[in-house]
Structure 1
Amino acid sequence: MNEENVSEKRLDDVEIVNQEVQRISKEEVRTAMKRMKNGKAIGPDDIPMEAWRCLGEMAMEFLTRLFNGILESERMPEEWRRSVLVPIFKNKRDVQDCNNYRGIKLMSKSMKLWERVVEARLRSED
């Protein structure tokens, strides 16, 4: 997460409210999908963002059901815990020096959509 996105709130300052969480709507999924970019590397599930977009309304239905299932079960799919770490050379100095690489983590696009939906809800609470 970027420094600019870090909330100033501390956990000590957050009021805990025990209430039922509102179901995720197709509109929330649609908004999250609009924020995702095409042409990005795929994660371990081999599903590119373009595939979800090509499925259109069928994808919205499926993802909305999936995300609401996650809310109800309080469990994310086990596959989402996996990622692929890819070293990217910074084009500086010695190719054999590990310090001249940065890592990028390739994760499931479905999980990234889930994160965007949750993030949007958290930001709307501020």
Structure 2
Amino acid sequence: MVRAIAGLKDGKAPGGDGIPAEVWKHGGDNLISRLHQLITNAWEVGSVPQEWKDASIVTIYRKGDRTDCGNYRGISLLSIAGKIFVRILLNRLSTNITPEVVPATQCGFRGNWSTVDIIFYLRQLQEKCFEQDRPLYMVFVDFSKAFDTVGRTRLWQLLRTYGCPEKFTTIIEALHTGMMVNVSVGGEVSELFNVTNEVK
């Protein structure tokens, strides 16, 4: 839990509870103890507080015509306590991921890997094929947007298929079931609505 809290970035907008990362970082042992109790309870019962699921989407103007919605980027503001819980889950789950689940050639969505790593790998592959006078065909596919379109039920099935411990799968499902968001634009806030296809 200490590592998850230490990894929080300062100066980021908090979620609906209004508690910024700095409060969790500098709140002292009593606050951390209470959060530990909440996290332990969530783990034991397989359910999470609604506040950890909910998000507020704010828009950030990028460039171009301000009347074109495509020129804005949406950012989901999530509860920092919920982020801490998810980070703990991710840290624990990452130790169980085997090469069969995430191949060595995958650099996206992996800690300590970047696009530079895959470019280096591809460059080496290109040189080897050139030395051996062998053809090389490459395709680069960016699945980042496609991920939001994958059905949640299918994701839960895949987690189980790849040996994700049932407790983790149950908690991940709980984080997404009943997830509610609102949208905030220019000081106006929409009503909460259910989200069925976004993944945290």
Shared topology, TM-score over 0.5? yes
Q: Is 1:64–2:36 an aligned residue pair? A: yes
Contact 1:86 1:106 in 2 (8 A): yes
Q: Structure 2 length normalisation: TM-score? A: 0.47
Q: Find the aligned partners of 2:86 and 2:53 in 1 and give their Cα distance.
A: 13
1:1-80 maps to which residues of 2 (within 5 A)? 29-80=1-52
Paired residue secondary structure (2:95)? helix
RCO higher in structure (CA 8 A, sep ≥6): 1
| Unaligned runs of at least 5 residues, structure 2 | 98-200
Contact 1:84 1:106 in 2 (8 A): yes
Q: Could you tell me which amino acid in structure 2 is paired with residue 87 of structure 1?
A: T
Contact 1:48 1:109 in 2 (8 A): yes
Q: Find the aligned partners of 1:81 and 1:32 in 2 and give their Cα distance.
A: 18
* RMSD between superposed Cα atoms in Å: 1.0
Q: Structure 1 length normalisation: TM-score? A: 0.73
Paired residue secondary structure (1:52)? helix
Give 4+ residue runs of structure 1 displaced > 3 Å after superposition. Answer: none
How many correspondences in the alignment? 97
Task: Identify which of 45, 51, 61 aligns with 1:89.
Answer: 61
Q: Could you tell me which amino acid in structure 1 is paired with residue 75 of structure 2?
A: I
- Aligned-residue sequence identity (percent) comes to 35
Deviation digits for residues 18-38 of structure 1, max 9, x if unmatched? xxxxxxxxxxx1010111111
Q: Find the aligned partners of 2:21 and 2:91 in 1 and give their Cα distance.
A: 19
Q: Greater Rg, structure 1 or structure 2?
A: 2
Q: Could you tell me which amino acid in structure 1 is paired with residue 43 of structure 2?
A: L
Aligned to 2:76: 105
Q: Could you tell me which amino acid in structure 1 is paired with residue 72 of structure 2?
A: Y
Q: Find the aligned partners of 2:19 and 2:90 in 1 and give their Cα distance.
A: 21
Report the alpha carbon displacement of residue 82 of structure 1 after superposing the two structures with TM: 1.5
Deviation digits for residues 39-81 of structure 1, max 9, x if unmatched? 1001101111111122121222111111110011111001222
Q: Find the aligned partners of 1:111 and 1:83 in 2 and give their Cα distance.
A: 10
